[in-house]
Structure 1
Amino acid sequence: MTGQVDFDSHNTAMVQGAADLVNLATPGLSRTRPYQPPPEAELTERTNALLHAADRHATPLGTADATRLAALAPGLRAVFEHLAADDQDGAVAAANTLLAQLRPFPVLERHRDEPWHLYHRSTAGDEASDWAARLTLGLAAALGSHFAARLGMCSAPACDRAYVDVSRNGTRRFCSTACQSRVKSAAHRARAQDS
């Protein structure tokens, strides 16, 4: 990703995973349409896909674990919402609440012949809680850095999806190019009508 911000490849993946979970598992608006989280089977499949994108060694979650992890999404969403409202103190308070619930701790692990990596587990000891700890700690690390300014909620009308900006210039304000294009087109039409 030439020219893009690389906060830390692992933390960036966890922060993006948190945004993806928020967008998957919280109701609201997506590109002008009402959005509801998918039914259990699809939620499980899509949750496993986003976890695999965050860590290619992710062990697939069963339906119960995927549902438990999805229940974390409103807490993660609060972090993004506070940041979008320029309320870093509120974002930190929301992250600290999650961290107090999860009580994560570090462990060193490796897969096959790869080097050791630092991972985080939750004291609850199940896969859903461990993933919740990783995603929350990724957000917490972002909040404690300049990267916090690159997290937010889509600023397009009728859309409330989270985004992570890893672009070089750090000016992203939309969840997708579709929302960005929609806003630009509306602005162009408004200028044309004013002319």
Structure 2
Amino acid sequence: MAVTIDVWRITGQSQIDSYVGRWAELAVVLVNALAVDHAQGRTRPLPATAPERLAALEPALADWRERHPRAPGDGGPPDTGPPDTGRLAEAAMALRPAFLAGPYAGVAELNALLVRHGAVPNLHGEPPVLAFHAVEADVAGAMAADAGTALAMVIGVGQGERLASCQATGCEMVFFDVTRNASRRFCGLACQNRAKAAAYRARRAGPAKKSTT
């Protein structure tokens, strides 16, 4: 007998559940912080040292710790200090292709990441909390496994077009599109305004006028 599972809806459209959406947003943060060197029309160096990467990830890490409180024996990843930012940077590079255009973009990289970080559904804590990492995973491994699994699930339910990158010139920031028709084109308002201004200037310039004699 076939079993049908209703899925979560984003703005009225069939989509994944909110828990997966949250970890997909974590993937967005990791990629934009550690794997994108062109943002909002400017070139920026990727953070190259552990302190630089920690600074770029601080908001994401604060959110992670809030959602993963530690208690003796809760089965969560140990939080004994700063995470391995080098491994997180590698994970961000592996996650980024999933946001690029094209059929099955990033699938091979995601599969390799899931194997490398031992991604596995896991319940731990009281009350039980669902995660996609092994019980013994450290923070870096858990974040990579959770983010990678979320993107794989988005792609696996046929919503891969919602993983996108900014279409404004000079910007490679990525985002998780939750609009009704997956119609979002820009990472944010700044790039949207830049694109509109460029289009306006192009219209004003118009075709070259013929000289008259």
- TM-score class, shorter-chain normalisation, is 0.7 to 0.9
C-alpha displacement of 1:16: 0.9
Match of 2:7 in 1: none
- State the percentage of identical aligned residues: 32
Q: Is contact 1:14-1:54 (8 Å) kept?
A: no
Match of 2:124 in 1: 109
Which residue of the other structure, out of 104, 111, 119, is the alignment partner of 1:96? 111
Give the alignment's TM-score, normalised by structure 2.
Answer: 0.76
**Cα distance in 1 between the residues matched to 2:62 and 2:160:** 24
Unpaired runs of 5+ in structure 1? none
Q: Is contact 2:98-2:106 (8 Å) kept?
A: yes
Q: Match of 2:87, as an amino acid?
A: R
* 1:138-174 deviation line (CA, Å, top 9, x unaligned): 1110110132111111111111111111122321111
* 1:26-84 deviation line (CA, Å, top 9, x unaligned): 14210111122335324214424214446732466744523322221110112212xx2
* 1:113-154 deviation line (CA, Å, top 9, x unaligned): xx4222122487322111111010011101101321111111
Q: Secondary structure at the match of 1:72?
A: helix
Judging by fraction of residues, say which structure has more helix: 1
Match of 1:35 in 2: 44
Distance 1:53 1:30, change over 3 A: same
Q: Secondary structure at the match of 1:158?
A: coil
Number of residues paired by the alignment?
187
Q: Is contact 1:28-1:35 (8 Å) kept?
A: yes
Unpaired runs of 5+ in structure 2? 1-9, 70-78, 208-213
- What's the C-alpha RMSD, in Å, of the aligned pairs? 2.5
Match of 1:49 in 2: 59
Which residue of the other structure, out of 87, 92, 96, is the alignment partner of 1:68? 87
Distance 1:34 1:109, change over 3 A: same
Q: Is contact 2:163-2:176 (8 Å) kept?
A: yes
Q: Secondary structure at the match of 2:66?
A: coil
**Cα distance in 1 between the residues matched to 2:147 and 2:31:** 11
Q: Is contact 1:4-1:166 (8 Å) kept?
A: no
Which segments of structure 1 move beyond 6 Å, counting only runs of 4 or more? none
Q: Is contact 1:4-1:167 (8 Å) kept?
A: no
1:78 aligns with 2:78: no
